[in-house]
Amino acid sequence: MNYLTDTDAKKLFSAAIAAAENTYSPYSHFPVGAAVLSADGTIVPGTNVENASYGLTICAERTALGHAVSIGKTDIKAIAVFCKTNSAAPCGACRQFILEFGSDIVVIFMHGEELMQRTIGELLPFAFTKATMDQLEKVGDQEHNL
Ligand code: THU
């Protein structure tokens, strides 16, 4: 398992706390911050960005990942997520979004008093991924029987 040291996990989590300061959440009033750690050590922040058309809201994790990709950081090691209620494991959509960049990515979040670390593969088992789609070539037109 590629879990971070306590010091590194806390450092990344602090960046997520700082990112939440920039929240744009005039509807939920629920600030969330995220911070991505890329393989070269760069820390990339993101916050939740809401919209008057509520469903268009972007979670902090997805903002941070989009930010990281936009500056050329797709080799991602970890992502921390913070919200004030101290129980902010990423939502289902964000789990899927994180997994796109690798099942070993470490997700760091508070659970009560504990700073938790779990790989995204642990948080989203049996996921639908690019590998799932790549099977199509192999499977071809074969019929499906149970
Ligand atoms: N939110 C996140 O930023 N990340 C999550 O994983 C769950 C929810 C945001 C979306 C919305 O702006 C607010 O939290 C309330 O749902």
Over 70: is that where the pLDDT of 1 sits?
Answer: no
- Return the percent helix, strand and coil in the chain, to nearest 5: 35, 25, 40
The Å distance, Cα 57 to ligand 1 centre, comes to: 8
Among residues 61, 56, 50, 55, the alpha carbon closest in space to that of 23 is found at 50
At a CB cut-off of 8 Å and minimum separation 6, what does 91 contact?
Answer: 59
112-129 tens-digit pLDDT: 999 999 999 999 999 999
pTM above 0.85, yes or no: yes
Helix (H, G, I), strand (E, B) or coil at 7: helix
How many structural domains is the chain composed of? 1
Is 84 a domain residue? yes
Domain membership of residue 145 (yes or no) is no
Structure tokens at 144: 């499906």
- State both tokens at 45: 């922040």
Any domain includes 15: yes
Predicted pLDDT of residue 63: 98
Mutate to test the pocket of ligand 1, among 91, 96, 107, 111 (most ligand atoms within 8 A of CB): 91
Q: How far is Cα 35 from Cα 42, in angstroms, rounded to an integer? A: 10
We report the CATH number of the domain holding residue 93 as: 3.40.140.10
Distance CA 146, CA 143 (A): 10
Phi-psi region of 72 (alpha: psi -120 to 50; beta: other; left: phi over 0): left
pLDDT one-digit tens code per residue, 19-72? 999 999 999 999 999 999 999 999 999 999 999 999 999 999 999 999 999 999
Position 121 in a domain: yes
Structural domain contains residue 1: no
pLDDT tens, position by position, 58-113: 999 999 999 999 999 999 999 999 999 988 899 999 999 999 999 999 999 999 99
Residue 76 lies in a domain: yes
Residue 130 Cα to ligand 1 midpoint, Å, equals: 25
C-alpha radius of gyration, the chain, whole number: 17
Structural domain span for residue 79: 6-139
146 inside domain: no
Q: Which residue has the tokens 């996990």?
A: 9
Residue 144 inside a domain? The answer is no
Q: Is-catalytic flag, 61?
A: yes
Phi, psi at 141, each rounded to 5°: -95, 15
Helices (H), the chain: 6-20, 60-70, 92-99, 120-123, 130-139
Position 105 scores a pLDDT of 98
Of ligand 1's listed atoms, the one at least distance from the Cα of 23 is: 12
